[in-house]
Amino acid sequence: MTEVALLLRSGDPDATRDALRALLPRVRGWLYRLIGNSADLDDATQEALSEIARFLPRFEGRSSLETAAYRITVRVGYRYFGSSPEMPLEAVPELVDPECIESQMMAREALARLHRCLERLPAKRRVAFVLCAIEGLTPSEASRVAGTTSLAMRARLIHARREVARMLKHDPYLSRWIDPEEAR
């Protein structure tokens, strides 16, 4: 067990404070991508940090603290699904020509369409899509975060990608980034 894990398990207030401060921006960012920028974001962030703080005395250091925090944050995010009007993702901005206002507007509108599409996904599929397609985790990594099997995560991701592709296959802006095989 690492020294930090020992301090956290012992309830050291300085170690706990430092760990929570270090995790705050990550937790908020993860929740932002999962539930959106709504009035619930602050509450969800506080709730996730509270759950992480309650977990710290049981932290054994077998995985990174960030992995454990991610898992707790996703669990909290499940409770807030459906309470926000849109799901912010950072998937489309790279497609934008920063000098062209029309391109920026098109990207913003496309992102809004993608948000609406993802809001229609069941919560578990949305988590799979966000963790793998947006956060860049492998299905195996995402399964540990979401507390499921790797096989279940792969299935959820496949179904989520198919549903997203089917819903967006006629989208004039997003369709060129969708695999035509996924839209069937």
Tell me how far apart the 2 most distant CA atoms of the chain are, in Å: 56
Fill in the DSSP letter of residue 37. Answer: S
pLDDT in tens, 134-176: 788 899 988 988 888 999 999 999 999 899 888 888 877 776 6
Q: What is the mean pLDDT of residues 29-55?
A: 86
C-alpha 145/C-alpha 152 separation (Å) is 13
> From residue 172, how far is each of 15, 97, 115, 178 by CA, in Å?
51, 17, 16, 11
Show the domains of the chain with their CATH numbers.
Answer: 3-80 (1.10.1740.10), 93-177 (1.10.10.10)
Fill in the DSSP letter of residue 177. Answer: G
Is the model's pTM score more than 0.75?
A: no
Question: CA torsion, points 60, 65, 67, 70, in degrees to nearest 10?
Answer: 120
What does R_g of the chain's alpha carbons equal in angstroms? 18
